[in-house]
Amino acid sequence: MKFGEHLRSSMIKEYYWYYIAYGELKKALKTDFVAAPTPEIPKPDRKPWTEDDEKRFVSLLESELDKVFTFQKIKSEEIVRRIQASESSVNDVVSRLDNANAPTSSRRSSGRLAAPPPSDEDFLVLEQVLSDIIADVHDLAKFTQLNYTGFQKIIKKHDKQTGWHLRPVFAARLKAKPFFKDNYDAFVIKLSKLYDLVRTKGNPVKGDSSAGGSQQNFVRQTTKYWVHPDNITELKLIILKHLPVLVFNSQKEFEEEDTAISSIYFDNTDTWELYQGRLKKTEGAEAIRLRWYGGMKSDQIFVERKTHREDWTGEKSVKARFSLKEKYVNAYLSGQLMVETIFDKMRREGKKSEAEIDDLEQLAREVQYRVISRKLEPVTRTFYHRTAFQLPGDARVRISLDTELTMVREDNLDGRQRSGNNWRRMDIGVDWPFSKLPAEDIDRFPYAVLEVKLQTQAGQEPPQWIRELTASHLVEAVPKYSKFIHGTATMFPDRIHLLPFWMPQMDVDIRKPATRSFGIQRPLASTSISANETQEDDDSDDDDSNEAQGSNSRPRFQDDDGVDQNGLFEETDGNALDIEERIAAQPLPGDEDYPLYDSDDETVSSDELEEARRVGGIHYYKQLMKYGVHQTGKVLSHVLQAMIPRPRPTALPPPERRGITVMGDQRTVKRFFAPKGKRIHVPVRVEPKVYFAAERTFLSWLEFSIILASIAATLLNFGDDYITFGCSWAFTILAALTLIYSLMLYIWRVDKIRKRRDVKRVYYEKWGPTVLGVSLVVIIMVNFGLRARQAGFATRDGQVGTPMDRDGHGAEL
């Protein structure tokens, strides 16, 4: 779809007059014809682009930018005022609920005895109002994204058609009116708090929300997805309707720095053993990192170790960590600081049990020993802003969205002193996008990373809304994606030769068209009322519907059958977490700006027909006939293709089928190739039973070879003619070849399994059984033929049953 068509189809009706006038700007790029079009010269040359044309276009562009910027600013301020009004209404309803639940004596002393307790309808109205605000935030975010893309497109078209370079100048104008840089995170956090209060009817879940908290060891099942920047705000708004934003410090106003997370990853720069282990997912592979939350002034550093465990071991991959003061980090990593000193204060305070402190001490000793013995040093830093969605104190369902992900080099390998003798470099903080760093020191990841972390009991399935979310067009599944692996592979291209499997997909646009109705749904028009208004008495239809729905009749996400799926854990069918392993399609590659709709060649035949209509005369009828013939040819081509008998492809599953994502009714497949001198590592899961299966297969071959050898020995011992002797030798040779082949195949398979190579013949062998079966058939048929020939000679010698010749005499065979 071209961008002009996409813009027209995506416009919000209420915002129609405030979008960029993309069509008018396109027309402004066309100068007048040198001469009037005639039937002989229907498309004469246009006049060259002049300075007056440039001034006229820039003036029109400025007015469009001012229109979009002003509307975005006014709408944003309106949303702020509506959120403030809703917050006041929610606080009033919650206070009435608290007063109703308070003892009678306290209510009399406070003077609030006359205030009636809130009803279910009060919460319903508030939820509808907040849902309408959420829809407005979503619409404003889409409005901003569409207009920003429109400006980028028209500037690109201008520079290409006119030869005048407007992009650098207009970039400064965009910075002066940055309508596209409005941060919606503050809206999301505020709306999440209010919506959670209303959804739980004034009784939100409470618990430990701190970054470290009491959770030292994590055992979770994690799935990861990429999210395009265009879908980030919509995704946050969808999630906050089911899980609240996890705020680490609710007493403090929101600041962007509070959501920043930085991590320093360590590795041996000679062997890259930690990178190799995490990439290959070998049993016991570790990742060691130092993490802090917030800005560079944060004094609490978390030393973390992630250990990978194979499923066949019966254990789960675990992340263990302990906290350390920043001033002690260098001494701890060098071995100058004893581990017992770190936990002395913890023992004196007595906030943790002796067993917990012993476990942390053991972890600290192991990490310190590995850093020193394996000569680990800082290599890669990852930075991102995290928005976490989780019930406080309940880690069963946790969703985190990491935006503005950036990887930075921390090493001193090329002679440049980045971190020096310190454990991290100090020339940067959390001032994304780190524009002061050279290009070779930084990699800005183009997508956000969504992590769905679940702790479910045996037999439980994730919530239905999570399965719908991960199967929607908003996310792209990337199994086993790792920031450490990606950053290290990107930052050290001359030293890393084994790449992760997702690296070639970086050049493929991950956006997909919406194949089903999933996303933010605006409440019905009849329910879009203010929180401070009451319904009129004559709204009988609404009153009846509310009474019929009962107290729990708030808007909910429903599945295709209309079943309510708001519970966190419900018994459902299906394989819950296989969605990320069932990537159904590769998106179409596109251009550098907006691949889904290329506007560089938007001059279509309909535009030529419109110009010919203005010219009139014979030229118009020629163009009209040409246009009609072209359209008719396209229709006939489709009809003939449908009528020609040919093999039909298997129908793809419908878009509504869970876990399968398709682009319309087509699936695009793209083959990737590793750069020269590098290999792409494809993760292969190997369990002990694979070795046992290979051994059982070898024993089966061995058993069959013994049977063949026994047949050969029997024929040799009890036969007395040349046919039996020949068959005996044939079976002996076949048995020996089968033994040799099975032994070589077994050794080859074990080697490939040990090296985790993705080779089809490891699991499937078509030539061996085929050759063996054909050889047996040939030997048996030859034996049968020779025996039949021998019987024929015997018959001839005995003059029995000889056929008659033409003269009636017996014919000799």
C-alpha 792/C-alpha 279 separation (Å) is 70
Cα 388 from Cα 240, distance rounded (Å): 10
DSSP string, 95-120: HHHHHHHS-HHHHHHHT-TTSPPPPH
Structure tokens at 143: 């409005």
| Residue appearing with tokens 């708090």 | 193
3-state SS class at 46? strand
The residue among 359, 378, 366 whose CA lies nearest residue 418 is 378
- Confirm whether 483 is a catalytic residue: yes
In whole angstroms, give the CA distance from residue 261 to residue 253.
Answer: 18
The sign of the torsion formed by the CA atoms of 509, 515, 519, 521 equals: positive
Task: Report how far apart, in Å, the C-alpha atoms of 232 and of each of 96, 183, 238, 624 are.
Answer: 36, 11, 10, 45
Tokens, residue 77: 């301020």
- CB burial readout 316-351, b (16+ within 10 A) else e: ebebbbbbbebeebeebbeeebebeebbeebeeeee
Pairing type for strands 260-267 and 476-477 reads: unpaired
Cis peptide leading into residue 42 (ω within 30°): no
Beta bridge partners of 290: 264, 303
SS3 501: coil
Task: Tell me which residue of 470, 551, 473, 466 sits closest to 243, measured CA to CA.
Answer: 466
Catalytic residue among 190, 483, 512, 752: 483
DSSP E strand boundaries for 488-611: 498-500
Cα separation of 421 and 414, whole Å?
15
Q: Give the SS3 label for residue 129.
A: helix
405, amino acid identity:
L
Instruction: Based on DSSP, count helices (H) and strands (E) in the chain, helices before strands.
Output: 21, 13
DSSP 48: P
Amino acid at 493: P
Token pair 């993705």 is found at: 758
Residue type, 480: K
Distances in Å between the Cα of 773 and the Cα atoms of 149, 706, 716, 737, 782 are 64, 16, 22, 13, 14
Distances from the Cα of 88 to the Cα of 84, 104, 189, 758, angstroms: 6, 25, 16, 60
HSE, side-chain direction, 13 A CA sphere, residue 726: 12
Residues assigned a catalytic role: 483
